[in-house]
Chain A
Amino acid sequence: MESRFTETHQKLSDDGHESECDKIVKLLDLMIDGEASTEEQSYFNTHIEECVPCFESHQKQKLLKGLVCGHLKRVIVPESLALSIKARIQETV
């Protein structure tokens, strides 16, 4: 199941070519993950300055990433784990 988010942005422009917004959607992940090239970054930033839906999509995508890295609790490593790893390694010849 594709999310509604994707569907709303997958409309092709009238001539059947990829619209600018479609290209922006494809760059969203690259942008929030810091993987976009300099050219991609400036293309992206120029577009979202003028396009409200794409600007909002970018905000949403950043928020989603922030939820995972900022709110997901880390589990605590049991104290015994490091000790038993060291012990088992010392036994290994």
Chain B
Amino acid sequence: MSEQTGKQLSKEEKDARFEAELLPVLDPLYNFAYRLTLDEDDANDLVQETYLKAYRFFDYFEQGTNAKAWLFRILKNSFINEFRKKSKQPAKVDYSEVEGYYNSDDVEGEGGVASTTDMRTESVQDLIGDEVASALNALPVDFRTVIILCDLEGFTYEEMAKILDIPIGTVRSRLHRARNSLKEKLEKYAKSMGYNS
């Protein structure tokens, strides 16, 4: 409890604590930045800026509290303040190129199932993933954001409300509209592939 107040730490101690508490969030944070900016360089800059801001305000961060939500909040604010004006795309992006590499560990994680999976199934998985990505990327950024926070990162409504600075009721209605919109886009795709939903 009375471990430290933060302000008396030496630079080395502070740096070590910072890295231990906040760097594990790097992967989800970078993915969030990428989904917001749709550009790897911008995502890179945004994440660096987020960590530098977090470092400046680290004395105010209470150890053991939700580091992930805190960093996501900083990143989202930086994005709104600086990046949003600058990058007015969704420009045409070749998603198959940008997302050509992905974490195959996730796919193969389920007890060696992957070794027996045939190639056709894997390419169908890829195809679905590409389609979900382009449907998601075509959504307005506010819609994209709530879906990523909720479905990809598993934040609760309450955490989302804090990250986005909006009431929980707004989180709910925005999520609902975002999902309807995503559903519409994916249904169109399903129809074009000859499936009736």
Is A37 part of the contact surface with B, judged by Cβ < 8 Å? no
Report chain A residues within 8 Å CB of B67: none
Q: Determine whether the beta carbon of B48 is less than 8 Å from that of A74.
A: no
Q: Determine whether the beta carbon of A72 is less than 8 Å from that of B129.
A: yes
Q: Determine whether the beta carbon of B23 is less than 8 Å from that of A85.
A: yes
Report chain A residues within 8 Å CB of B99: 73, 75
Is B66 part of the contact surface with A, judged by Cβ < 8 Å? no
Is B122 part of the contact surface with A, judged by Cβ < 8 Å? no
Q: Complex formed: what's the CA distance from A54 to B157 in Å? A: 23
**What's the least CB distance linking A65 to chain B, in Å?**
5
Report chain A residues within 8 Å CB of B133: 72-73
Q: Report the interface size for chain B: residues with CB under 8 A from the other chain.
A: 50
Q: Complex formed: what's the CA distance from A33 to B151 in Å? A: 8
A-B CB pair tally, cutoff 8 Å? 106
Report chain B residues within 8 Å CB of A82: 23, 26
Give the secondary structure class of A's interface: helix
Q: Determine whether the beta carbon of A33 is less than 8 Å from that of B102.
A: no
Q: Determine whether the beta carbon of B152 is less than 8 Å from that of A69.
A: yes
Is B183 part of the contact surface with A, judged by Cβ < 8 Å? yes
Interface range for A: 20 to 34
B interface residues (Cβ-Cβ under 8 A, vs A): 11, 15, 18-19, 23, 26-27, 30-31, 34, 40, 43-44, 47-48, 51-52, 55-56, 98-99, 101-103, 106, 125, 128-129, 132-133, 136, 147, 150-152, 154, 156-157, 172, 175-176, 179-184, 186-187, 197
Query: Beyond the given A71-B129, A81-B47, could you list 8 further A-B residue pairs with CB under 8 A, ordered by the A residue number?
Result: A3-B180, A33-B150, A35-B156, A72-B132, A73-B99, A85-B47, A88-B48, A89-B19
- A and B contact pairs by CB, cutoff 8 A, 30 listed: A1-B184, A3-B184, A29-B175, A33-B175, A64-B179, A64-B183, A64-B186, A68-B132, A68-B147, A69-B154, A71-B125, A71-B128, A72-B136, A72-B152, A73-B102, A75-B30, A75-B99, A76-B101, A77-B30, A78-B40, A81-B30, A81-B44, A81-B48, A84-B48, A85-B23, A85-B26, A85-B48, A85-B51, A90-B15, A92-B55
